[in-house]
């Protein structure tokens, strides 16, 4: 971590202005508005989603500034009003709201500009990329071209004076990388830029560190457009504070928003005052993401220093590395990439997590039969660790091709899941994403068997529920998660996770994981991580 420099947000006292977006009718309840008043600086009403509430009522419960937005379908919203009604609603809003969103270039008509002074205007642009602007050929050239296209768009928007400007390209192609890259070169404090969609969530979070004046969060639960909740902005990323930032860490997967890793890693980074931020990267093709991440740092963005990797990208992560630990090479997969003396090192923490959690439960696999259900990267890592600990391991998998490939790679016997019986095994390790039902009948397992679950979920997985009901030794994915986070944090940063950091409390604000119904509050500000399919 010593190589990190504080190139962004060097002013320790800087803070972002948090905008709570009203996107659902239930966000307008008095309780939720009053709860938001304590954590958000600005309230934005998406009138295309919730209609036109009485602004006087809003001000009774929320003392901060109010923003009015009536996003049209052309700009990704739901408003289909005609031009006359649209102008009427926007002009009426100007009488009651501190800021009114005007869409470029459709709302810059003389009548609207005459009725809405510059100090009340936010000029916004939400648009999908065109094939010409966001061509994916040539990664570095594509990034430069995409950010250049955004800069041209911004130059056209600034022809209309306004208090704020907002640029939101669609994620995909180079969009999610160009948006923050634009901010690194502007040096302005009236421009916010990020990419929409789940792939652009990381750009929303990062934008304030690059100079954006505001950060947007849903008043209730996170949105399908990639907008986190206000609760996530505060608990997962430490906003509105903007401590110095010298580099990035993150988690790469197809649904990283389900993971609690950002919350845990960022809490540790803040505790140790390390100038870094841990972000969620939604990744479809790992090789494409990896090249963009390298180019992003080279072109002026905060450089990437470490990455935890979820399935199905663990094999690709191993291929991307310059060097690899023996465990990662042995199982053919890596769930961690970190810089090591200028080279990218691949590692897997699944092996250590499995053995450590078994040991904490008093389970010694040496000399006993063990079955590993699931032959993906995590399953192969667990199987390899159990073998090295002296267990006699059998691989189990539903897909025959993957099961046989893992058997050939590790030199272990394989049994199709359809023919598997847990009887006779002292250790049963489950390493698939299946959480809704038991992957095998726990009722037929030996009375002294130990069940290890790699996935974490609240409420507990079906397998862990059945294990505990049977009275067997059960090691759930929460224990695995906390061991993995400790191992990964140390490998990525060179610092041990602070011992004083209470991981359960960081996740849920209490000593132990709560029941599912405890995760929601009427104010909508509770943690919103119902499930993670796989521990990172």
Per residue in 153-207, pLDDT (tens digit) is 999 999 999 999 999 988 776 678 888 888 888 888 999 999 988 999 999 999 9
Q: Report if residue 375 sits inside a domain.
A: no
Q: Which residues sit opposite 373 in a β-bridge?
A: 396, 430
- Tell me what the pLDDT averaged over the chain comes to: 89
Percent of the chain predicted with pLDDT > 70: 90
How far apart, in whole angstroms, are the C-alpha atoms of residue 496 and residue 173?
37
271-300 pLDDT, tens digit each: 999 999 999 999 999 999 999 999 888 888
Range in 72-76, 184-188, 412-416, 475-479 with the lowest mean pLDDT: 184-188
Positive/negative CA dihedral, 367, 476, 384, 413: positive
Residue-range definition of the domain harbouring residue 199: 17-239
pLDDT on residue 121: 98
Q: Report if residue 112 sits inside a domain.
A: yes
Domain of 190, CATH number, reads 3.20.20.70
Q: Report if residue 346 sits inside a domain.
A: no
Q: Report if residue 97 sits inside a domain.
A: yes
pLDDT on residue 527: 39
**Dihedral (Cα; 99, 193, 252, 258), 10-degree rounding:** 10
pLDDT on residue 139: 62
Q: Is the pLDDT of residue 373 over 50?
A: yes
pLDDT on residue 394: 98
> Rg of the chain over CA atoms, in angstroms?
25
pTM, two decimal places? 0.91
Q: Is the pLDDT of residue 523 over 60?
A: no
Q: Pick the residue with more confidence: 138 or 52?
A: 52
326-349 pLDDT, tens digit each: 999 999 999 999 999 999 999 999
CA distances 493 to 179, 325, 535, Å, are: 27, 17, 19
Q: Is the pLDDT of residue 494 over 90?
A: yes
CA distances 250 to 202, 265, 446, 527, Å, are: 9, 9, 40, 19
Q: Pick the residue with more confidence: 520 or 73?
A: 73
pLDDT on residue 10: 55
* Exposed e or buried b per residue across 227-251, where buried means at least 16 C-beta atoms within 10 angstroms of its C-beta: bbbbbbbbbbbbbbebbbbbbbbbb
Q: Report whether 36 contacts 219 (CB < 8 A).
A: yes
* Residues comprising the chain, all counted: 536
3-state helix, strand, coil in the chain (%, to 5): 40, 20, 40
pLDDT on residue 223: 84
Q: Report if residue 357 sits inside a domain.
A: no
- Confidence label for 518 from pLDDT (cuts 50, 70 and 90): very low
**Dihedral (Cα; 423, 428, 432, 436), 10-degree rounding:** 70
Number of compact structural domains in the chain: 1
Q: Report if residue 32 sits inside a domain.
A: yes
Q: Which of 57, 59, 85 is nearest to 72 (CA)?
A: 85
pLDDT on residue 503: 85
- Confidence label for 141 from pLDDT (cuts 50, 70 and 90): confident
Q: Report if residue 317 sits inside a domain.
A: no
Q: Is the pLDDT of residue 29 over 80?
A: yes
pLDDT on residue 459: 86
Q: Is the pLDDT of residue 536 over 60?
A: no
- Confidence label for 463 from pLDDT (cuts 50, 70 and 90): very high
Q: Report if residue 388 sits inside a domain.
A: no
pLDDT on residue 36: 95
How far apart, in whole angstroms, are the C-alpha atoms of residue 196 and residue 194?
7
Q: What is the per-residue DSSP string for 154-214?
A: HHHHTTS--SEEEEEEBSSTTHHHHHHHHHHHH--SSEEE--BSGGGHHHHHHGGGGT-SE
Q: Which of 529, 527, 458, 28 is nearest to 234 (CA)?
A: 527
Extract the tokens encoding 116. Answer: 């809405």
How far apart, in whole angstroms, are the C-alpha atoms of residue 421 and residue 475?
20
């Amino acid at each position: 971590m010593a190589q990190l420099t504080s190139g962004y947000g060097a002013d320790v006292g800087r803070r972002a202005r948090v905008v709570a977006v009203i996107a659902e009718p239930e966000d307008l309840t008095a309780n939720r508005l009053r709860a938001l008043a304590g954590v958000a600086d600005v309230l934005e009403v998406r009138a295309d989603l919730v209609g036109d509430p009485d602004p006087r009522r809003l001000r009774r419960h929320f003392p901060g500034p109010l923003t009015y937005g009536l996003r049209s379908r052309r700009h990704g919203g739901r408003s289909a009003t005609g031009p006359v009604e649209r102008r009427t609603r926007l002009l009426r809003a100007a009488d009651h709201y501190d800021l009114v969103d005007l869409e470029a270039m459709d709302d810059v008509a003389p009548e609207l500009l005459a009725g809405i002074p510059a100090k009340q205007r936010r000029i916004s642009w939400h648009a999908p990329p065109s094939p010409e602007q966001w061509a994916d050929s040539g990664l570095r050239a594509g990034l430069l071209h995409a950010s250049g296209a955004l800069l041209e768009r911004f130059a056209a928007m600034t022809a209309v004076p306004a208090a704020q400007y907002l640029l939101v390209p669609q994620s995909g192609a180079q969009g999610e990388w160009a948006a923050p890259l634009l901010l690194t070169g502007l040096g302005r404090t009236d421009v916010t830029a990020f990419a929409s969609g789940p792939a652009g969530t990381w750009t929303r979070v990062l934008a304030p560190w690059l100079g954006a004046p505001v950060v947007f969060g849903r008043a209730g639960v996170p949105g399908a457009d990639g907008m986190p909740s206000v609760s996530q902005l505060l608990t997962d990323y430490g906003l509105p504070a903007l401590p110095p930032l010298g580099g990035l860490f993150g988690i790469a997967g197809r649904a990283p928003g389900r993971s609690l890793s950002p919350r845990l890693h960022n809490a540790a980074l803040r505790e140790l005052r390390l100038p870094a931020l841990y972000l969620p990267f939604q990744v479809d093709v790992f090789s494409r993401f990896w090249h963009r991440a390298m180019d992003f740092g080279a072109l002026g963005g905060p450089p990437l220093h470490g990455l935890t990797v979820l399935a199905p990208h663990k094999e690709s992560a191993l291929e991307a590395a310059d060097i690899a630990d023996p465990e990662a090479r042995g199982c053919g997969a890596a769930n961690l990439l970190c810089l090591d003396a200028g080279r990218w090192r691949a590692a897997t923490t699944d092996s250590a997590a499995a053995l450590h959690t078994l040991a904490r439960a008093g389970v010694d696999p040496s000399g006993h039969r063990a079955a590993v259900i699931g032959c993906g990267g995590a399953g192969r890592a667990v199987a390899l660790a159990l073998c090295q600990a002296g267990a006699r391991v059998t691989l189990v998998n539903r897909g025959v091709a993957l099961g046989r490939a893992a058997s050939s790679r590790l030199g272990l016997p394989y049994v199709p899941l359809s023919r598997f019986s847990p009887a006779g095994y002292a250790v049963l390790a489950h390493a698939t994403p299946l959480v809704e039902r038991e992957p095998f009948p726990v009722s037929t397992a030996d009375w002294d068997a130990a069940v290890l679950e790699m996935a974490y979920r609240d409420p507990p997985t079906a397998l862990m529920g059945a294990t505990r009901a049977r009275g067997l030794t059960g090691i759930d994915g929460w224990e695995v998660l906390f061991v993995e986070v400790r191992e990964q944090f140390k490998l990525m940063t060179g610092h041990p996770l602070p011992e004083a950091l209470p991981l359960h409390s960081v996740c849920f604000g209490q000593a132990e994981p709560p029941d599912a119904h405890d995760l929601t509050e009427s104010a909508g500000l509770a943690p919103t991580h119902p499930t993670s399919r796989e521990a990172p």
